[in-house]
Structure 1
Amino acid sequence: MPDLLGGLPARADLLLRAAARRSGDHSALVLDGDTVTYARLDAAVDRCAALLRERFGAGRAVVAIGADLHPDVVIAYHGVLRSGNLALPVVPLLREQQLQYVLEKSGARAALVGAQLYERLRRIQGGLPGLELVAVLGENSDENPVDDRQVPRFADLLDAAGSGVPEHRAAPDEPAALHFTSGTTGMPKAVVLSHRNVTVNAVQTARAHSLDRTSVTLVHFPSYHPMHMNSALAAAATQVLVPGPDPVEAIDLARAHTASHVYMLPARLAQLAAHPRLSELRLPGARMIASGGSALAPALADTLSKHFGLPVVQGYGLAETSPLTHFDRPGDHRPGSVGTPVEGTEHRVVSLDDGAVLPPGENGEIQLRGPQVMQGYLDGEHGQPVNADGWLATGDVGRIDSDGRLHLTDRIKDVFKCDNWLVSPTEIEVALAEDPTVADSVVIDRPHPVSGAVAHALLVLTDPGSPEEAERIIGRLNARLPYYKHVHSHEVVARLPRTPNGKIPRRELRASFHARLDGGSPMVILINEFILTSAPEEFEKVFEASSVYMRTQPGFIDHTLVRSLTNPNVYTNIARWEDAAAHIQVVQSDGFQEHIRELTSVAKATPQLHTVVSHVECG
């Protein structure tokens, strides 16, 4: 481990301190023309640590941090670590129910959040009695107003705080941070990361990205991810923050600041590639553009790489691995791959059938081992996916090529077998996306009496008035795929539902489709348990207003609200929907979210979506 850290401390709370001692006058953060040096940043972190130590001691209190890109996020995160407590980054786009779930599950005692997230938080704060401190990060503006003058502002709290705090000498393997998984295969799980996990991965990332003190990284994400924050701090590099959504503005700023590294989301890179100003844009000082968050289409990467004359690369990681494990290094990159393991990391692929290690080129479950692998999950009910030899089972399917590069295929729960060939729906969807007449698609498995399963596609066409085009699309697709990936049936739909983070709910769509194939109903049932935080009369009044709204929505069938006989503060609602797509479309509507905000002000809800196995109508 000392060789991997290269002289840096194994404690995450000392990561910024080490950079400030080496490069105090060097620019650490740049936002809207304001520059924060490492010395200034370190002093602000000291004040934050003093504030939190006074409130919570050094007893590992969980402090949630969620805001747009802003220096306050860095100050809050490292202030929490330095105070001897646990940092919990949260996505500032979380809706009320998701936010309540994360804060409850983690046992958060404080929330340092941006103005927009604060507006959602205060609607559910009555149901979070363990939350002792709430403060607003960042600048208050017309776009992000906070009307409540009684709400503490982080900047004001820092001004009133002391300038120093006694050092909390945490051991490198003590917990430092929590991180929730994305929840794509179930409810999000809280991952426990140690000081060593955080610091080691910061160094691994900095080395994989070739960051040093001369580097200027431009971060164009909606919010901070600790990976980008901490890798730059480990290298004492300069970070230019671009919170706005316009990718062209980001490229202009990258050129103005002579950025060496540009970090963007795939969706913003897609906007950039299609932008009418692309031909004018240049990045003369850049060494790479890195994509993160989800898979980047190889064709898109190729377009931008040719235009800018730069490698457009991506990596791979998980909340459980702090997160980075692989990176497709500039100068040695291959489109479609997420690269080789970062320093100190091992990978292997094992059979989905018997767990045997597979040779290069064969698809199986990806397993990882290294010093960045988590300590475990906060909630023991999820089990521990790390075996006795330290191998983490990722739940992802992929293959390792002969050069040791990792190629991602899909999630284990989404792949299926056709004639014993492993088929990835995502690979077929990527092929469909290359057809200009396909606006969107999702592929699921369809049971087959001989082959076991075959592919079925739901298609959204660019020209909805030409449904006969779907047959031609499938014909063109199948002509260039091996037989076991052929699409055997398809449907044309007006749109595909997506979750708040932009993912297609494949499991729900698959369940509805299979129910129809079995001659049953694709109906789904939503079961909500409500634990009251107000008087029953108030809850019933708010719930009835919500019910009136839901009864007018497409796909809603009916609902039944019951009150527990053993605990009068517990209600259960059972609602029936025609199918999962109808339910998902409605719950993402602004009208539904408004009713959810009202409900969360009077009760805590725990929703569960179920597929119907059997149903008896009572006459």
Structure 2
Amino acid sequence: MPEPLARTVDELVRARAVTDGSSTAIIDPTDRLTYAELDSTTAELAAAFLDAGIGKGTRVGLIMPNGIDWVRIAIALTRLGAVLVPLSTLLKTPELLAQLRVAAVEHLIVVEEFRGHRYRDGLHDALGLPEANAPIRHPELPALRSLRTVEQALALPASPEAIAVTLAATARVTAADALVIMFTSGSRGLPKGVIHSHGNAFGAVRSGLHDRCIGRGTRLYLPMPFFWVGGFGGGVLSALLAGATLVTEEIPRPETTLRLLEREQVTLFRGWPDQAEALARQAETIGADLSALRPGSLEALLPPARRARPGARANLFGMTESFGPYSGYPADTDMPESAFGSCGRPFDGMQLRIADPDTAEPLPTGDIGEIHLRGPHTLRGMCGRPREDLFTPDGWYRTGDLGRLDDHGFLFYHGRSDDMVKVSGATVYPSEVEKALRGIDGVRGAFVTDIDLGRGTQVAAAVVRTGSSTAAELRARAREVLSAFKIPTIWLLLDSDDTIPRGTTGKVDVVGLRALLTREGRTAETVSGTRAV
């Protein structure tokens, strides 16, 4: 049966119910839902939301962990044409207030409690908001009209009148209508509310399905939270558009994740390499059978004989503004040797150029410059930002990422333009140093930035070890792969990355990392020219 060429979430869910109705759409540790059940339950929930005053264009915030209920609420809202605003479960109350204001959220749905966070209580304490279900009018959040718990939202009744008009309401939604506002932040600055439409989001996801090895019958697991584009686009919408099965869980832990992978016969594990490596170390101890995993999964979980040579597989590359990866290569296929270490090639529908960071003028092939994107899959806008602030006059989005293209169109990433460091007049890109350090035996993670302890700019690194290597030993190995001026002079040696500061989107907070390394560096002792902590 041909794939549904759906343009909106409602069209997609209806089509999947016809073509794949009995197939499992999503699984969490306690429940599962077929495509037919996803259609029927979200249609009923959409009618209840319509009765509650939520319709096309209404902005609805959602704070809850991964699971079937997250998907049901999100799909019901977007079928109506409401604009989903996924919010991080990591947010503190002041951060939550800021994002609610930026996105002009009108209705908010929150989990009662998750990992010690009580979001409704935090808002109530900060603003004195009324109890749930009472109308809200507050000058700090002028757009907000209601606050409900997840349980209250799922229990909303649908009147016969709402059920009757839901079909007409969903039919009014078009590919050009806003689908989601996803918050992102770089390593610096305030989070940005990035707006994507049904059409551009679907196009972005479809363009990368083949290279990500996702198709009908795939049983996909990924640990990314659904409030990130990696979880919503790379997980929820990828499964829906491919007719795959998505396997998810609230809190990934090695012992529970391995049993979930085994029980559900997961065929594709995508996500963070660090998590895959941690799971691989536990798999033999626990005795989990991961034989269903196929190439295209993160390689640490595959048998050694099925792994590729280092650098042979593309590093998928993208951002929230491109609704996920925009460059890659089939995840189960080696690239040409000249492209080893690259991010593959831009997907269909995405134009890419390398430009001078200062003038925005295109640069010759092979030169390093700022990556610019243009095409139907890029963001539709940002909350509170005029188009001329986001795009060049000829329609290119300036990503702030640095890269180069080779003669065959392969993209090589070279860090962030705003994170370039000058050391004694020489240019250092922290991402280049991080990559080199991670290639050293005994190093599991590396986080690099610049600090100034009163003697000029120095390169500093927080390194996660797998053994007991000293800073002097690591520095000696770094000399083999880095120019002398790129080698860190401040080393913070860690056994895990738990103390690395991160923002609410999970990215490393460079300002916080710099503060950590500066604080530790002031108390460090000098070892062979290196200050080691």
Is TM more than 0.5 here? yes
Q: TM-score, normalised on structure 2?
A: 0.78
User: Over residues 461-499 of structure 1, what are the superposed CA-to-partner deviations in whole Å (9 max), with x where a residue is unaligned?
Assistant: 869999xx5345334323431345344x43658896513
Match of 1:505 among 509, 518, 524: 509
Match of 1:427 among 413, 423, 432: 432
For residues 345 and 337 of structure 1, the distance between their equivalents in structure 2, rounded to whole angstroms, comes to 17
| Residues 465-476 of structure 1 mapped to structure 2, 5 A cutoff | 469-476=470-477
| Residues 162-181 of structure 1 mapped to structure 2, 5 A cutoff | 163=163, 165=166, 166-168=168-170, 169-181=172-184
Tell me how far 1:64 sits from its aligned partner. Answer: 1.0
Match of 1:86 among 83, 88, 104: 83
For residues 361 and 305 of structure 1, the distance between their equivalents in structure 2, rounded to whole angstroms, comes to 34
Distance 1:439 1:366, change over 3 A: closer
Distance 1:503 1:406, change over 3 A: same
What residue in structure 2 maps to residue 187 of structure 1? Answer: 190
Kept in 1: contact 2:326–2:350 (CA 8 A): yes
Kept in 1: contact 2:64–2:111 (CA 8 A): yes
Q: Which moved more, 1:48-57 or 1:378-387?
A: 378-387
| Residues 336-347 of structure 1 mapped to structure 2, 5 A cutoff | 336-347=341-352
What residue in structure 2 maps to residue 329 of structure 1? Answer: 330
What letter matches 1:506 in structure 2? V
Kept in 2: contact 1:58–1:84 (CA 8 A): yes
**Other structure's SS at 1:198 match:** helix
User: Over residues 177-228 of structure 1, what are the superposed CA-to-partner deviations in whole Å (9 max), with x where a residue is unaligned?
Assistant: 2111134221011111112112212322333334332222123334462211
Kept in 1: contact 2:111–2:119 (CA 8 A): no
What letter matches 2:278 in structure 1? Q
What letter matches 1:136 in structure 2? T
| Residues 26-37 of structure 1 mapped to structure 2, 5 A cutoff | 26-32=23-29, 34-37=31-34
For residues 466 and 31 of structure 2, the distance between their equivalents in structure 1, rounded to whole angstroms, comes to 47
Kept in 2: contact 1:89–1:178 (CA 8 A): yes
For residues 356 and 28 of structure 2, the distance between their equivalents in structure 1, rounded to whole angstroms, comes to 48
Does residue 79 of structure 2 align to residue 58 of structure 1? Answer: no
**Other structure's SS at 2:282 match:** coil
Distance 1:356 1:95, change over 3 A: same
Tell me how far 1:85 sits from its aligned partner. Answer: 1.7
Does residue 394 of structure 2 align to residue 389 of structure 1? Answer: yes
Tell me how far 1:421 sits from its aligned partner. Answer: 6.2
| Residues 284-433 of structure 1 mapped to structure 2, 5 A cutoff | 284-290=291-297, 301=299, 303-307=300-304, 309=306, 314-333=315-334, 336-380=341-385, 384-417=389-422, 422-433=427-438
Kept in 1: contact 2:355–2:361 (CA 8 A): yes
Does residue 449 of structure 2 align to residue 443 of structure 1? Answer: yes
**Other structure's SS at 1:277 match:** helix
For residues 472 and 268 of structure 2, the distance between their equivalents in structure 1, rounded to whole angstroms, comes to 44
Distance 1:512 1:95, change over 3 A: closer
What residue in structure 2 maps to residue 536 of structure 1? Answer: none
Tell me how far 1:242 sits from its aligned partner. Answer: 3.0
Distance 1:44 1:313, change over 3 A: farther
Match of 1:133 among 133, 146, 157: 146
C-alpha RMSD of matched pairs (Å) = 3.8
Distance 1:403 1:304, change over 3 A: farther
For residues 82 and 241 of structure 2, the distance between their equivalents in structure 1, rounded to whole angstroms, comes to 21
Match of 2:20 among 18, 23, 32: 23
Tell me how far 1:414 sits from its aligned partner. Answer: 0.7
Q: Which moved more, 1:404-413 or 1:152-161?
A: 152-161
What residue in structure 2 maps to residue 111 of structure 1? Answer: 108
What residue in structure 2 maps to residue 241 of structure 1? Answer: 248
User: Over residues 59-90 of structure 1, what are the superposed CA-to-partner deviations in whole Å (9 max), with x where a residue is unaligned?
Assistant: 51110123222112222112112223211111
Tell me how far 1:283 sits from its aligned partner. Answer: 3.3
| Residues 505-584 of structure 1 mapped to structure 2, 5 A cutoff | 505-507=509-511
What residue in structure 2 maps to residue 207 of structure 1? Answer: 210
What letter matches 2:90 in structure 1? L
Distance 1:131 1:454, change over 3 A: closer
For residues 46 and 77 of structure 1, the distance between their equivalents in structure 2, rounded to whole angstroms, comes to 12
Q: Which moved more, 1:231-240 or 1:30-39?
A: 30-39
Q: Kindly tell me the number of residue pairs found equivalent between the two proteins.
A: 484
Tell me how far 1:16 sits from its aligned partner. Answer: 1.7
What letter matches 2:266 in structure 1? A
What letter matches 1:197 in structure 2? N
Distance 1:116 1:421, change over 3 A: same
For residues 237 and 448 of structure 1, the distance between their equivalents in structure 2, rounded to whole angstroms, comes to 56
Ranges in structure 1 where 5+ consecutive residues have no aligned partner = 138-151, 292-300, 523-619
**Other structure's SS at 1:131 match:** coil
Kept in 1: contact 2:49–2:156 (CA 8 A): no
What residue in structure 2 maps to residue 457 of structure 1? Answer: 460
Does residue 275 of structure 2 align to residue 268 of structure 1? Answer: yes
Match of 1:13 among 10, 30, 35: 10
For residues 493 and 30 of structure 2, the distance between their equivalents in structure 1, rounded to whole angstroms, comes to 47
What letter matches 1:343 in structure 2? D
Tell me how far 1:503 sits from its aligned partner. Answer: 4.6
| Percent identical | 24
| Residues 139-158 of structure 1 mapped to structure 2, 5 A cutoff | 152-157=151-156
Larger Cα-atom Rg: 1
Kept in 1: contact 2:25–2:244 (CA 8 A): yes
Q: Which moved more, 1:89-98 or 1:260-269?
A: 260-269
Does residue 264 of structure 2 align to residue 257 of structure 1? Answer: yes
Tell me how far 1:326 sits from its aligned partner. Answer: 1.9
What letter matches 1:231 in structure 2? S
What residue in structure 1 maps to residue 135 of structure 2? Answer: none
**Other structure's SS at 2:419 match:** coil
Kept in 2: contact 1:44–1:158 (CA 8 A): no
